[in-house]
Structure 1
C-alpha cells in the first residue's frame, strides 16, 4: 500500500467476520442495499413478515372456504341424481318452496359474500414488501460474493451442495434453484468448470417437496438444465484437452455439435457423465489446475510456519505497560509486524457495538479516550479525537487502501502520519477472515480484541490484504 505521508502505522483490531477485503476485486458494496450483515438481517425480517402475511391471508381464505362449504352442505339434496329423482324432488311442494326461497333470498347473499375480497390488509402489506425486495443489482452482487468465496478458498460445489465448508458440516444446504442460479452465473462468466459442477449438483439434487405445485408457480428449474450441463462440460473438456483453443472456438464447436446430435446421443453423453462419482469428476477436472496466488494461499492458511516467531510480554515501552503488560507476538522483524492481545475489553467492545449502525458511524462516548490512551501507549503517538465503527457483511469487500477515504482514518496531531484502526468486536472467526501479507507469506487470523500493528512505509512487502470470512460477522473501528 502506497503512502502519501512520510510514514504511518496500520493498526488492526480484529475478530469474527463474514466480510471480505480482498485487493483483487472491485468494491461495489456501497451500491447495494443488502450487502452488510445488518442489511441481510433486515432482508430476513422482510421475508418473515412476508410469510406472516401469507399465513394470515391463507387463514382468511380458509375461513372463507369453510363458510362456503357450510352453504354447500346446507343444501339438502345430492347433485348427481337421475332425472327421475330430480323430478320427484321438485314435485314435492315443500322442496319446491324451499328451492324458490333459497334462490331468491339466500343465493344473492352467498353471491355477495363470494365476491368479497379476503385479506385486503395482508394483500396491501405484501405489495409494500415487494417494493423492498432485492433488485437485479443486489442479486448480481450476491452471486459475485459467492464466486469470490469459491475462488479464494477453492470451495467445491459438491461440498457446498452438501452443506460442507472447508470440511466443516453445517445444517444448511442450497436448494436446487440455488444450484441452478450459481451455475448460470458462472456459465455467463465463462467459468465452465465451476458452472458444470453446480449444474451437476442441481441435477442430482433431491426433489423439492410439493415440486409439482411449486414448479407451476416458480417454473421448473430443470428446464434446459441438462443442456447447460452438457454445454459446460463440452466447452471445459475441449479447452482442457487443447489449451490453445479459445473459449469462443470451444463454444462454437460445442453448440454446433449439440444442435446436430440426436436426443439419444445427448442422453448417452449425460448418462456417461452422471455415472461417474462426484469425486472422480472433481479429480479429473482439477488435474493441471492453475496454481493459487500467494493471497489465496494465505487466506486458506497454507503458509508454512515461521521460525522467527517470538512471543513475550511487553512491559518496557511505557509506564502503563510496566503496570499492565500486554502479551505480544512478533510475526516479522523486517518489516516489523506485531500482535498485541486483549487490547480491548469485552465491556468496551459491547459499548462500541451499541454506538454503531449498519456500515459506519462515529462513536462518541467515554471509552474513546481509554482506547486512544491505550493505543498511544503502544505506538507512542497521539490521535485526533475520532473513532469510527464499521460492520461488514458476508463476502463484502473494502480494500485496506480505501480506508484513506475516511471510513477508518485517523490523523495524528503531532506528525504527518495516517493511522488506521480496525477493531473486531465479536467472537473469534470460525472460518476465514485472515489479514494476509502475501509478499512476506504471513497470515494473521482474527482474534477478539487483539491489535495488529505494522509500520506501513513504502516497503511493498508490508502491503496487506484482507480475506473474506466464511462464517460469522465482522465489526471494526
Structure 2
C-alpha cells in the first residue's frame, strides 16, 4: 500500500487530494479543467509542442544524414585493394583530415533552439491543480451518471461511440489509483482490470518498458483492491503471481501472510462514505410533468414586449418558477460571450462543488450588459435596485454550479434569472428536487425562480457532453 500511495503521489505531481472526500485545489492553475475556454489554449499549446517536436526531429534527421555519409565514405575505403600506394595516401588523408571533423559531429549540440522553446513552454503546462481538478471531474461524472469504465476508456458516452482514440493503460491506472485512495475498491478493481487487459493486449510491448510502473505494480494494485473488497482468495492469487516474478519482495511476503489470515478469519467490512450521492439521486431521477393548472402564455405587459411578446411557461406555482422561451437572440448571445471572455476567472470563494469560471459585467461598462439587464427587468417586472451586475459563467469538465449539498444557499429571499447561452448534449439540467422539476438547457431561454430564505431548492447536474455557457442575475 505504501508503494502504491507513493506512485499515486508521483503521478499526481504531489497535489493535495482530500478534504471531506473531495479534491482540494493546490496553488497555481491554468483553469484547464474548469473552463472550456481555457481548454482552447491547452489545444494551442499541444499544437505548438507537436510543431516543436517535428522541428527537433528534422534537426536530428539532418544530423543523422551527415553521420550516415561519414559511415558510407569510411566503408567505401575498406573496399579498396590493400598495399596500394594511391589507396594508402587516400586512407592516411581520410583518417588525418576527416575523422577530426566526425568528432565534431559527436560534440554538436543538437536542437538547442527547440530545447529552449520546450523549456519556455513548461510554464504553460497543466499544473498539479489542473490535473487534480480533471481527476475530480471524471470522478464526479462516473459517480453521478454510473459510467462504465470500459465504455469511458473506449470513448463511448451515453451509448454513443465518439470514435475517439482509446484511453491507454496510464489513464486506467491513475483512475484506479484515485478510487483506491478513496477506498472505493469496486471501482478501483474495475479500472485495474481494464489496465491489465490493455497491458496484456498491447500491440507494442517494448513501449511498456519505459513506463514508471511495471507489470508487478498492476498485480499489487489488484491485490490491494480485492483485499479491500474482502475477496481474499483472489487477492492471494495476485500476491502469489507477483512473488513468482519477485520472490524476495518483502512487502508482498508480509501481505500474503496477512491475506491467508484474513481468509481464515474474515473481518466485517465497513462501507465507505460516497460523495455526490445527493447529486446522483437528483440527476438520475426521472421527473414526470405534473397535470395542474399551470399556464403557458405570451408576455406583453410593456411597450417593448407588445412589439415582440415572449412565450412564458409556468413550471411551479407553489414556489414561483417560470421559463421564458427565446428570451435572447443568437447575436446578443455571441456579443455577451465575447465581452465576457477576457474577464472570465476562477472564483476562489465558491464551494468545492463548482467547475466553472465567471465573468462579471456591469451595465455602466458594457452596452450588452445594460441591454440584457433592462430586458430582464422588463420581462420579470422587477424594479432596478442598484444591482447592475450580470454574471456570465463558462463551464469546464463535468461543469456545474451548485449549492453545497449540506449548506443553505441563501440567508435572504431573492429571485434568480438564469439565461442559457448554449445547449448541452447531456447533463447541465437545473433541478428543483422539492418541486419535482428538471429543466434542460435550451439556448436563448431564461429560467426565473424564487429562492426562499434558509432553503436549498435547486441543483445543477454535471455536464456529460457538450460545452455550456449561462448568464445569471440575482434580483433582490
Task: Give the whole-Å Cα distance in 2 for the aligned partners of 1:26 and 1:310.
Answer: 42
> In 2, Cα distance between the equivalents of 1:298 and 1:442?
10
What's the offset of the Cα at 1:316?
A: 5.3
Q: Which residue does the alignment assign to 1:330?
A: 314
* Cα deviation, residue 196, structure 1: 0.9
Please state whether the residue corresponding to 2:340 is helix, strand or coil. Answer: coil
Residue among 151, 158, 170 paired with 1:166: 158
The worse-fitting range, judged by mean Cα deviation, of 430-439 and 339-348 is 430-439
SS at match of 2:319: coil
Q: Deviations over 1:268-305 (max 9, x none)?
A: xxxxxxxxxxxxxxxxxxxxxx9995632332352333
Distance 1:430 1:262, change over 3 A: closer
- The equivalent of 1:49 in structure 2 is 48
Cα deviations across residues 198-244 of structure 1 (Å, max 9, x unaligned)?
112222227455441x3333345644213322431342245xxxxxx
The answer for the alignment partner of 2:359 in structure 1 is: 361
Matches within 5 A, 1:131-280: 131-172=123-164, 173-205=166-198, 207-208=201-202, 210-212=204-206, 214-219=207-212, 222-238=215-231
CA contact (8 A) 1:301 1:443 kept: no
Structure 2 residue ranges without an equivalent (≥5):
1-20, 245-273, 345-356, 472-476
8 Å Cα contact 1:338/1:454 also seen in 2:
yes
Matched residue, 1:303: 287
3-state SS of 1:304 partner: coil
Query: Which residue matches 1:474?
Result: 468
* 1:403-442 map, 5 Å: 420-426=416-422, 428-442=423-437
- Kindly provide the CA deviation profile for residues 108-132 of structure 1, in whole angstroms up to 9, marking residues without a partner as x: 1221133111211101111122333
Residues in 2 aligned to 1:291 and 1:56: alpha-carbon distance in whole angstroms? 46
- Deviations 1:375-397, CA, capped at 9 Å, x for gaps: 11222113333323231211245
Structure 1 unaligned segments of length 5 or more: list them: 1-23, 239-249, 265-289, 403-408, 410-415
Q: Distance in 1 between matches of 2:161 and 2:293?
A: 32
* Aligned equivalent of 1:341: 325
Q: Secondary structure at the match of 1:229?
A: helix
Distance 2:239 2:463 in 1: 43
- 8 Å CA contact 1:311, 1:327 repeated in 2: no
Quick one: distance in 2 between partners of 1:446 and 1:309?
A: 24
Contact 2:431 2:439 in 1 (8 A): yes
SS at match of 2:434: coil
Cα pair distance change 1:129/1:382, threshold 3 Å: same
Residues 291 and 115 of structure 1, relative CA distance in 2, 3 Å threshold: closer
Closer, same or farther: CA 262–315 of 1 in aligned 2, 3 Å: closer
Distance 1:424 1:375 in 2: 13
**8 A Cα contact 1:298 1:443, kept in partner:** no
Distance in structure 2 (CA, Å) of the matches to 1:436 and 1:221: 45
Do the aligned partners of 2:413 and 2:451 also contact (CA within 8 Å) in 1? no
TM-score (norm 1): 0.74
TM-score, normalised via structure 2 length: 0.74
> Hey, what's the Cα distance between the residues in 1 that align with 2:105 and 2:241?
58
Question: In the alignment, what sits opposite 1:386?
Answer: 389
Could you tell me whether the CA contact under 8 Å between 2:150 and 2:194 is conserved in 1?
yes
Instruction: Give the number of equivalent residue pairs.
Output: 398
Q: 2:295·2:314 contact (CA, 8 Å) conserved in 1?
A: yes
Quote the Cα distance in structure 2 between the aligned partners of 1:97 and 1:30.
69
